[in-house]
Amino acid sequence: MNEKVGTDIKRAASHLKAGELVAIPTETVYGLAANALDEVAVTRIFEVKNRPQFNPLILHIANLAQLEKLDLRFPAKALALAEKFSPGPLTYLIPTSSKVPGIVTAGTPAVAIRIPNHPMTLQLLNLLDFPLAAPSANPSGLVSPTKASHVSEQLGDQVNYILDGGECQIGLESTIISFLEPIPRILRYGGITTEAIEAVIGPVNLPEGGFVDNPVAPGMLARHYATNHPLLLGNADSLIAQAHQTDPIPRIVTISLNQTYKEIPTAYQFQLSPSADLSEAARRLFATMRLADEMDIDLIIAQEFPDRGLGRAINDRLKRASTEAGQFLKPLTQ
């Protein structure tokens, strides 16, 4: 039995108060947490994850009242969203203050704030007199963890305690919305859909397209959620046909919403939701990517998901995990 994994919230709090690292459960993915006001502890997050220090972190708080201690203010539209969706999978990017260490914001003028919707972590946050900085609890760029066992497998020796809150209920990171411009802008698709946000505050701007190397918010880097085997995203039928033209023909596993492919053995096909439920698909995505990656294969082919609701967030994660097909497959002959 791993003594570093358990459900002792007071023990987790004790480690965090001592400047140590604790993996925490949220409804989205597991986070690697440290005292956000302790620069030495936050530096340890970057070291353990091998995360570039120009990539900002999200501050996790128990409630909006804690913003006052940090000299932070939510604009009216952010407050309206928080009333509807927080605690929950929505992160707010707002102007920072001098009380937030620069290592958390990567020296940018903005800070990302979230109230996670997990009972154990909310209890933990209420035991602390400081916010938690907590990116996903995995080596930087790899698939995010949705179970305590995923954290233990990848970071176990480097984390002082893993608070086991069971399997994450949403399984995709939070949506990030910026309030740095007159019209709020979605920076990262995630657990709250654009449609749901616009129903509360009206039209928002969408991501400007492409990924960046100098992000103003977490989760914007181009290469992320990577599997060990190459992953291709697109029209799976076409990609499978291309793969079957190569010599030798690669061993393929597929990931899709609910499609099947006659060329691929059933055991090598993962349908994330037979009923085409995008919420179920999002919840199962990262765990399925891990299972596919553990198989004796050469290539993962993912069918592009519907471009609506959580389908956008799923496509976003798969796109960042993917490789250009041209690096592995020949174009179909005419």
For residues 89 and 195, membership in a common domain is answered with yes
For residues 137 and 237, membership in a common domain is answered with no
For residues 238 and 159, membership in a common domain is answered with no
Question: Does 239 map to a domain?
Answer: yes
Q: How far apart are CA 4 and CA 163, in angstroms?
A: 8
- Give pLDDT < 70 ranges for the chain: 1, 209-225, 325-334
- Residue 326's pLDDT is what? 59
Question: Does 40 map to a domain?
Answer: yes
Question: Does 41 map to a domain?
Answer: yes
Which residues, 6+ apart, have CB-to-CB distance to 38 below 8 Å?
19, 130
Q: How far apart are CA 91 and CA 72, in angstroms?
A: 14
Question: Does 210 map to a domain?
Answer: no
Phi, psi of 91 (to 5 degrees): -115, 135
Instruction: Give the residue from 70, 71, 69, 73 showing the smallest Cα distance to 94.
Output: 73
Q: How far apart are CA 301 and CA 322, in angstroms?
A: 9
- Residue 83's pLDDT is what? 97
The DSSP element (H or E) to which 81 belongs, if any, is helix 76-85
Question: Does 97 map to a domain?
Answer: yes
Question: Does 30 map to a domain?
Answer: yes
- Residue 333's pLDDT is what? 42
Residue where one domain finishes, among candidates 154, 180, 201: 201
The DSSP element (H or E) to which 293 belongs, if any, is helix 278-293
Which residues, 6+ apart, have CB-to-CB distance to 139 below 8 Å?
49, 50, 154, 155
272: left (phi over 0), alpha (psi -120 to 50) or beta: alpha
Q: What CATH number corresponds to the domain at position 40?
A: 3.90.870.10
CA angle 28, 29, 35 (to 5 degrees): 105
Strands 132-133 and 58-60: antiparallel
Q: 311 and 226 in contact (C-beta within 8 Å)?
A: no
For residues 197 and 240, membership in a common domain is answered with no
Q: Identify the domain containing residue 98 by its residue range.
A: 5-201
Question: Does 214 map to a domain?
Answer: no
Question: Does 220 map to a domain?
Answer: no
Number of domains the chain contains: 2
Q: How far apart are CA 266 and CA 236, in angstroms?
A: 15
Strands 269-271 and 185-188: unpaired
Tokens 């609890």 locate to 137
Q: Coil, strand or helix: which one is 169? A: coil
For residues 55 and 173, membership in a common domain is answered with yes
